[in-house]
Structure 1
């Protein structure tokens, strides 16, 4: 039976309730009996799914949206200080709670598995959530993406395990006290909050230090993750460390990854036993994510053989190489990749899955600060495609930085030998891409912003062409 809702969370008001992380917490609280309300900038399918649970969702931000009897106001780091509902909370003396503190409160009394890393968090969290559900363990989970559709990013279960995506971007993952923590990789990102790799390592070390006594840190094969493991192991009294990777000296050895179209067959050796299972998404990095999920589940007492087979039930998560459809002989796939490492991994995965096909990419840079620091690497990644369309930067929470535009990426891509076309008006993209694509091609929309909206529009243009 799930813990009771903390009194401070009995009548929460969420500012930005439609966001992936915020809506998940709101969903779990509503399932546990809290009277949940909130606001968001625009209507969405997620808003409708929350209303179906009895949540009050206001569109737009206004002081009047905050009820006088709200027990707290929940915010993420994206909420600006001048938000009118935040100002109203100060007038009323309503406590303000960060999203991470709200999520931490939901995990109290349970057995949390927190999934962290610069890349792969959403996929790995989703794999665990699906597999544990398949095994009948009724987990709770909070994920930064939708498994099957709006509203599937979080679940209140009656089981003892809570699987949570742990966000390092604003150091909020340091609020959690996991029994098992996964760190898939450690790279410099979120440049507005981290100035150096030293700061990144310090943040991940603080996260690892919150693992409960007797708990476990599972680390991937990435050099940054292994460096973190060495630092954690050097401290007396720290958690047990379990390594996952393709090198034979890994505690969980990924013995083989065999591509099979849009899937992979993976064989893992753990504690002397061999486990073979299918991962329904192409690419080595997804196989590594599955192996890390297997290792973490085993550390909370789940039978590895059963868990390995349950992982085959995972069929993907929204925006992680998600097939959006096919028209006129052209497949359109959507990717959330926005960091050069992610971009490279997904482009290589699609190359392997669709050998012989031309790969066309529609890329939308995410954040001015990330573009400023990594434009050259983004351009190099785009050189893996046969041709690319590059949009203007999606600002999200940031203000413009003088001189930082998507032109930095297009210049770098051309210098790397890429065929790249800048398109500044997003409305022009579907027609441009449909004009470029030929039967047998694969189009990949890529980025963490609203580029995901373009896939269906590209398909619509292709369908019109195909029926002409």
Structure 2
């Protein structure tokens, strides 16, 4: 990779600049707050609900307010908002009335990342794990990267950090097109499955946003794309045709054009060798075209061959190995030796709310996961099955749908995905930015109607958690699944299991 490079600005280049973040307790916004503060900015903020991230920022010494009030906004601050902040927010209205600058969260992140080799990781799913893996591995090999991940990287105990090294790894959000505010040196696209149709309207518009995203690459930059996903592979073909440097990765062999060459000039193949409840064994091989035109057939004499390189992951699931292949490809572009990168990825322990163990009582293990798209749930249940089978137990899924529009659009696919559990309980939809009155006929039952007899709809989330605990027996895995507040139900389930007693027979 030979992107344009500029000198890294001093750590205090934002010193004295004031930023006020509305919704500072949110996963994405809190990361921006941490990075701006670490670069010397004066950061304040407010949040309607508080939470762990909000409390952490307060412990860092930031001035944060619970609740929104015009008086919270410093008159000299640039106000930072996300798409979720409405025009009626009193702080935003006050800032606009005073003529204060207002920027989107992604623009603030791009400002904080300027001067680095910016690595943007995008995709409908898999981007948190892939970006977390890359941040962890670069840290482990001593590159000291900066990063902004939409979840806590467990080994690093944070989702954001400003490092002294040249790389800045960021999870790039496509949901509101904000990833188009970046100018990356490297882009990773994990998949392009239609989502966020409440914003985009059509699958074609969603796919076009990724085409626009690749156009944001800096001169000399590289696009890294998962070839196992049909939409992402189409993107790779289009980018390569425009002359963009492209690396594909996947479980497939090198992707061939009609003329016999690679898609782009490189391909990373991941081969799964062994699947275990405690992890995955794989090997990685990279082909890279060495002839100038890149048009001759893929044969050893026309390619640089790297590998095979052993990859031993401590997390289960083929999807995790696929994400690791994308991170490995990026690490090589950032100058890490192939074996060192693979070894560093092997010590990755996951990110918060991605197959995160919440506890075990009476032989029943509770796992929490952020999956909220059908494909994510398929991958999650496949990994859970590996664990449950090793324990001689079943998989019980407690799913909270996220958004009425997504539930309406994908009810049949959610049903097909959740049919992979032995028992499924669906609870009320987490509305986020939407209102039930705009979708009067859409409930979680739209999903359970698509599943065989082992599924139930229990609207009350607390009652749903108690039902999951009551169903469980030793060896079972209970999964709390979704992007909303379903994560709090893990504690409810564990408490119910404890009250039931380790040796009681479940109802």
TM-score of the two chains, using structure 1 as the length reference: 0.95
Equivalent residue number for residue 168 of structure 1: 174
Q: Does 1:300 align with 2:305?
A: no
| Contact 1:3–1:108, Cα closer than 8 Å, also in 2 | no
Equivalent residue number for residue 294 of structure 2: none
| Contact 2:144–2:164, Cα closer than 8 Å, also in 1 | yes
What is the deviation of 1:4?
A: 5.2
| Contact 2:224–2:248, Cα closer than 8 Å, also in 1 | yes
Equivalent residue number for residue 290 of structure 1: 324
Distance 1:151 1:395, change over 3 A: farther
Equivalent residue number for residue 40 of structure 1: 47
| Contact 1:340–1:378, Cα closer than 8 Å, also in 2 | yes
Q: Does 1:52 align with 2:68?
A: no
Specify which of 249, 254, 279 is matched with residue 249 of structure 1.
Answer: 254
Distance 1:332 1:222, change over 3 A: same
Q: Which has more radius of gyration? A: 2
Equivalent residue number for residue 68 of structure 1: 75
Rounded to whole Å, the distance in 2 between the matches of 1:342 and 1:76 is 24
Specify which of 413, 416, 432 is matched with residue 380 of structure 1.
Answer: 416
Total equivalences in the alignment: 462
| Contact 1:2–1:159, Cα closer than 8 Å, also in 2 | no
Specify which of 250, 275, 293 is matched with residue 259 of structure 1.
Answer: 275
| Contact 1:264–1:281, Cα closer than 8 Å, also in 2 | yes
Equivalent residue number for residue 371 of structure 2: 337
- Superposed CA offset, 1:337-396 (max 9, x none): 111111111111111232142110100000011011001110111111111111110001
Specify which of 122, 147, 150 is matched with residue 153 of structure 2.
Answer: 147
- Equivalences for 1:56-135 in 2 at 5 Å? 56-70=63-77, 72-135=78-141
- Equivalences for 1:355-374 in 2 at 5 Å? 355=389, 356-374=392-410
What is the deviation of 1:7?
A: 5.9
Q: The residue matched to 1:275 in structure 2 has which SS?
A: strand
Q: The residue matched to 2:199 in structure 1 has which SS?
A: coil
Rounded to whole Å, the distance in 2 between the matches of 1:8 and 1:208 is 32
Equivalent residue number for residue 212 of structure 1: 218
Rounded to whole Å, the distance in 1 between the matches of 2:65 and 2:156 is 18
- Superposed CA offset, 1:71-129 (max 9, x none): x1000011111101001101211111001111111221110111011110000000011
| Contact 1:50–1:151, Cα closer than 8 Å, also in 2 | no
Segments of structure 2 that go 5 or more residues without pairing to the other structure are: 1-7, 256-266, 287-304
Equivalent residue number for residue 402 of structure 1: 440
- Superposed CA offset, 1:8-60 (max 9, x none): 98110000001111111100111111110000112222112112222111001
Distance 1:365 1:464, change over 3 A: same
- Equivalences for 1:275-286 in 2 at 5 Å? 275-286=309-320
What is the deviation of 1:152?
A: 0.7
Specify which of 310, 317, 323 is matched with residue 351 of structure 2.
Answer: 317
Q: The residue matched to 2:20 in structure 1 has which SS?
A: strand
Rounded to whole Å, the distance in 2 between the matches of 1:44 and 1:274 is 45
Rounded to whole Å, the distance in 2 between the matches of 1:162 and 1:364 is 33
Specify which of 173, 178, 185 is matched with residue 179 of structure 1.
Answer: 185
Specify which of 462, 466, 472 is matched with residue 437 of structure 1.
Answer: 472
Rounded to whole Å, the distance in 1 between the matches of 2:183 and 2:194 is 24
Distance 1:387 1:305, change over 3 A: same
Q: Which moved more, 1:258-267 or 1:333-342?
A: 258-267
Q: Which moved more, 1:427-436 or 1:85-94?
A: 427-436
Rounded to whole Å, the distance in 2 between the matches of 1:228 and 1:68 is 44
Specify which of 15, 20, 25 is matched with residue 18 of structure 1.
Answer: 25
What is the deviation of 1:272?
A: 2.8
Rounded to whole Å, the distance in 2 between the matches of 1:362 and 1:256 is 29
Q: The residue matched to 2:42 in structure 1 has which SS?
A: coil
Q: Does 1:446 align with 2:446?
A: no
Q: The residue matched to 1:444 in structure 2 has which SS?
A: strand
Rounded to whole Å, the distance in 1 between the matches of 2:458 and 2:183 is 45
What is the deviation of 1:154?
A: 0.5
Rounded to whole Å, the distance in 2 between the matches of 1:172 and 1:399 is 23
What is the deviation of 1:274?
A: 1.5
Rounded to whole Å, the distance in 2 between the matches of 1:199 and 1:4 is 39
Q: The residue matched to 2:152 in structure 1 has which SS?
A: coil
What is the deviation of 1:149?
A: 9.1
Distance 1:205 1:3, change over 3 A: farther
What is the deviation of 1:465?
A: 1.3
Q: Which moved more, 1:170-179 or 1:247-256?
A: 247-256
Q: The residue matched to 2:310 in structure 1 has which SS?
A: strand
Q: Does 1:158 align with 2:164?
A: yes
What is the deviation of 1:5?
A: 6.1
Segments of structure 1 that go 5 or more residues without pairing to the other structure are: none
Rounded to whole Å, the distance in 2 between the matches of 1:242 and 1:40 is 41
Q: The residue matched to 2:151 in structure 1 has which SS?
A: coil
Rounded to whole Å, the distance in 2 between the matches of 1:149 and 1:348 is 24
- Superposed CA offset, 1:217-276 (max 9, x none): 0011211110111111222xx421101011221511112342122211121012332211
Rounded to whole Å, the distance in 2 between the matches of 1:377 and 1:53 is 43
